[in-house]
Structure 1
Amino acid sequence: MCTHLDEREGRYYFRRRVPKVLQPILGKTELSKTLSTSNRAEAVRLCRAESLRSDELFAKLRADLKSAEAPSSPVSDPISAKVRAIVSAAQADADATRRAREDAEREREEDNDWYQAVVSYARDEGLDEDEALAFDREVERRAQLERAVQRRLKDEGTALPQQAATSTEKPQPASKSALYLPALIDKWAKERTPNARTFAKAALVARRFREMVGPIPVKSIERRHAIAFKDALLASGQSASNTNKTLELLSVLLNFARANEMTKMNAAQGVRVLVKSTTKPKARISFNLPALQSIFSSPVYSEHVRPDGGAGEAAYWLPLLALLTGARLEEMCQLAPDDVFEETYLDATGTQHAVPCVRFVHNEERDQGVKNAGSVRRIPLHPILIALGFVEYAHSHKGKPRIFPDLKPNSYGEESGNWSKWFGKYLRGPCAVTDNRMVFHSFRHSFKDACRECSISKDLADAIQGHDDGDASSGYGSEYHPLRPLVEAMSRFAIYGLTLPAPWSAS
């Protein structure tokens, strides 16, 4: 058995810890190398070869150390002196390499955080990923150019010439102790505890503001700066709608600063682009019948294929659950085995019945969360889900924290993040659904359309999907909506003309 084999997202790597005594020489605590294969048998063979090479490397370095540390005789030992010189030089090189690597990795982590934030933002707003990244890449390119010029001028002992002051001038920091947007975001996040994606969006706003307007202390941000930010966003190619969302988040941050006496005013309040609501096309639409038929006759359902990235049986169940519950993807990915259970209710004649249910809850101890208070709910399972074997599937994972254990969270800790990327590719590829407005979230739209077609009231549809209509009276009553009307609604729910797959099988 190869003990240095590591598997990440279907790819294999060689990883081995460097002995502590050799870490200063190599400048690292671990040897890591991609094996460039997803075949386990091949990976094991390559891993063993790497293990032998690392054994030889460690043995040689230990021998060199032993020679270098041996006590010298009164007569000069040129060989030992040479080894000591080599080790000393290697140590210096290793220290320099380590520092360079740490700097490079830090920059790489920052770039990755930025990239993930932009991609998430693009996905939320229905933008094309390449278009959303184009602006940010240009901003980063200009920032790198500016830093390079500053370094060159510093080396030459030359200061940049002062530019005439304008409304978009980038003032220098007032003092080292001044509070800037990144520090404000940290304070805001500590108190308001936003989710990881919202925090990333806030960090992206701070980055864009710094690049487009300047590193201005929070207390010095004026309305002219917010207006300049708006104009710069539009000039960069951002849509009016996305510009307004960026400004709204900046306003939220500055409002928090004003409430906590970090600034006297919210300079971004009311700054926005006028948008005609009738001109904005829908970013998301329901799946039509041909699209649904393509999804549920694709290889996952017709050939029992479980593609890489589909997280095993999650590829089969998540689209079906979304179709027949209208639930959000992250809610379903967080389900635990005991979230699928049986509950009794009385029908109109007073007869007691039992029905399998699923619940979506907020439970910090189990890392389960929902969008808002109205999303906490318990709903009966649709008869089709029961017939397909979902209850048996869920209970087969008893004792595990999740019913979809093969899901791997993304960098934000979202259990649906990586699976969502896979489904997007699967939808455009094997399923051949090419309309970019149709995404996984379209299942929620489709559920709402089907409820209307089946004469299921808005009140019941909202209760099933976890929609909060903002009406204070909706919060009155028990923790969960009464079960009987939900059961009756689910019995009427149907997607007319759709042929669903064969029941689930573990084989």
Structure 2
Amino acid sequence: MGLRMATPWKHPETGSYYLRERVPVAVQETAAGRTVAIVIEGQSLSVKIGGWVKLSLRTKDATVAKERYRDASAALQEHYRLIQQEAATGPVRLTQRQIEALAGEYYRAETQQHQDSPGQPDEWDATRSALQDMGETVAGLERLHGDSANLMLQQRGMTVDDGSRKALMEAMHRAYVMFAEGQERRAVGDYAADPRTARFPAFDDGAMVTETTRAKAGQPQTAPRVSLSDLFDLWAKEHRLAGGSEKTARDFAHKLDSLGAYLGYDDAAAVTQRQIIDWCDHLRAEAKLSAKTVGDKYLTAVRAVYRIGVEKGRITAAPTDGVRVRKPKQIKTRPSGFTDEEARAILLAALQDPSTLGNMAEKNKLAIRWTPWLGAYTGARINELTQLRKQDFITEAGIPCVRITPDAGSVKTGHYRVVPLHPHLIEMGLLEFVAAQRGEYLFLTPAETLEATSRRAENVGKKVSEWVRTGAGVTDMGVQPTHGWRHRFKTLARDVDMPDRLIDAIQGHSDGSAAAGYGETTAKAMYREIQKLPRYEWS
């Protein structure tokens, strides 16, 4: 599983495909109003950056559009990276030698492209006259050479100051005039060696060494570019080998998507600590996420993915190192679990005639009928309950039990567990309900893959949560609409002196100790404790 990829947009009237992307938040302020060059099918096109970027891909073929979109989007991301780099470190001031070296590259590229078919001499004579006039104004220089200058600088990963860029275009113009003179000479059959190429020096920025010069010098070339998608795929592979859940993988993909969308590019090595901090601040200020959510969910996911990249030698350092999201002291005004009144309201509402639920899918109605009661007596997570199958109801040592297993869908720990059923559930007819169901899954229709089935279980869980708010009337946002059962179960278990190790075994928790990994917690031991729980009965 990789990160989500954007796709070309098809114009509904013309059928032509476009690159159409929202400009990332991180670069909106600094990039607004800038014009950058994007190459489409060998032609450099100018595009102005605003709130959105829109650029024709010049094709009506979907396959071709995808290829051009990928290249154009990557070029746009590189522009964003350079703009952010400029904002952080300031633009580069080119030396005269560097300017002439870049002009020489321009001269050689134009010569190589056009020398075989130079055209007519009088055409080049007229061209040189027109060049003389256009080269006298900045606007003329921009029209002639602006896109080519942008492209050369982008390819070298450089953002230069305005003075350097103007001087570069002037040097490029002089080089182009020389190219036109050479073309006029070749047009009359003179293909003598061009002595002018020797006047241009090799480019050297005093620090940067290109892959070409590395190879010529016999030096090891730098590592290939590593994207955020590459790092995620590396992490996901390790996660799955360790038995991690697909739900966690999807959640981490979402968090990496958020970072990539904020930055506007996915070059993992180019991300800085400052950008990670700014992203976290953006999630809090603009996305209105809590400090806990940003720190424990978003930052944790990105930190884990980068850590794998460092461990596997794909990147040298993690920009998440040293980054923290400070959490304000939490103000708690109520218990995390349901109160007696809330538990009563939910469980009694679940017993009502399913016809009162309207046009809701029958499987959702069954989930509303049974998962609150199962949650109350097992303390299980809602998605562990909504993905239960008929074969998950078993008997161990003569005790009716439910098996919560990754074979049915997503389990947070990745480990199966067996939980004895409280006698009250048996008396309510739970096992008869299970036996009467025709399909394998009790509360959903399975998809073709286990991952897709897990997503359906999540959706059913959301339906139950919505019903708790609207149907059962538990509207206090200080308690989670289904997770409240897990907190309440632990509270009641402590009230009846249930040992913590048995509570953890029933709920699928771990205390992290080495001793917890030794021995098995039997159904007999758990059933003895579960029977201590008070019944949910009202006169």
TM-score, length basis structure 2: 0.56
* Equivalence for 1:185: 232
8 Å contact from structure 1 (residues 167, 224) kept in 2: no
What is the deviation of 1:414?
2.2
Task: Establish whether residue 493 from structure 1 lines up as the match of residue 533 from structure 2.
Answer: yes
Q: Summarize the Cα distance change of 1:296–1:201 in structure 2 as closer, same or farther, 3 Å threshold.
A: closer
Q: For 2:388, which of 335, 339, 342 is the aligned residue?
A: 335
Amino acid at match of 1:256: I
Amino acid at match of 2:267: P
Q: For 1:377, which of 399, 402, 417 is the aligned residue?
A: 417
- The 2-side partners of 1:141 and 1:169 are apart by 16
* Equivalence for 1:422: 463
Q: For 2:368, which of 297, 315, 319 is the aligned residue?
A: 315
CA displacement, residues 113-167 of structure 1 (integer Å, 9 cap, x when unaligned): xxxxxxxxxxxxxxxxxxxxxxxx9967997997997699999847779969333
Task: Establish whether residue 165 from structure 1 lines up as the match of residue 83 from structure 2.
Answer: no
Task: Establish whether residue 368 from structure 1 lines up as the match of residue 418 from structure 2.
Answer: no
Task: Establish whether residue 394 from structure 1 lines up as the match of residue 434 from structure 2.
Answer: yes
* Equivalence for 2:259: 209
What is the deviation of 1:372?
1.4
Q: Summarize the Cα distance change of 1:209–1:406 in structure 2 as closer, same or farther, 3 Å threshold.
A: closer
What is the deviation of 1:341?
2.1
1:269-284 aligned within 5 A: 269-276=321-328, 278-279=329-330, 281=332
8 Å contact from structure 1 (residues 333, 404) kept in 2: yes
8 Å contact from structure 1 (residues 143, 211) kept in 2: no
Q: Summarize the Cα distance change of 1:215–1:169 in structure 2 as closer, same or farther, 3 Å threshold.
A: farther
- The 2-side partners of 1:321 and 1:227 are apart by 42
Amino acid at match of 1:180: S
Q: For 2:399, which of 355, 360, 367 is the aligned residue?
A: 355
- The 2-side partners of 1:482 and 1:233 are apart by 45
* Equivalence for 1:118: none
C-alpha RMSD of matched pairs (Å): 4.3
* Equivalence for 1:293: 344
What is the deviation of 1:442?
0.7
Amino acid at match of 1:244: G
What is the deviation of 1:99?
9.2
* Equivalence for 1:431: 472
Query: Which segment is superposed worse, 415-424 or 388-397?
Result: 415-424
8 Å contact from structure 1 (residues 335, 402) kept in 2: yes
Amino acid at match of 2:268: V
- The 1-side partners of 2:289 and 2:89 are apart by 18
- The 2-side partners of 1:396 and 1:337 are apart by 9
* Equivalence for 1:268: 320
What is the deviation of 1:440?
0.7
What is the deviation of 1:263?
0.9
Number of matched pairs: 357
Equivalent residue of 2:402, what SS? strand
- The 2-side partners of 1:437 and 1:385 are apart by 28
- The 1-side partners of 2:338 and 2:457 are apart by 20
What is the deviation of 1:214?
4.7
- The 2-side partners of 1:405 and 1:313 are apart by 9
What is the deviation of 1:259?
1.3
Amino acid at match of 1:468: S
Task: Establish whether residue 450 from structure 1 lines up as the match of residue 492 from structure 2.
Answer: yes
- The 2-side partners of 1:279 and 1:493 are apart by 31
* Unaligned stretches of 5+ residues in structure 2: 1-9, 50-78, 92-152, 158-210, 212-222
* Unaligned stretches of 5+ residues in structure 1: 1-94, 111-136, 345-353, 501-507
Over the matched positions of the two proteins, sequence identity in percent amounts to 23
Q: For 2:506, which of 450, 464, 473 is the aligned residue?
A: 464
Equivalent residue of 2:351, what SS? helix
* Equivalence for 1:404: 443
- The 1-side partners of 2:333 and 2:381 are apart by 19
What is the deviation of 1:493?
0.7
8 Å contact from structure 2 (residues 354, 365) kept in 1: no
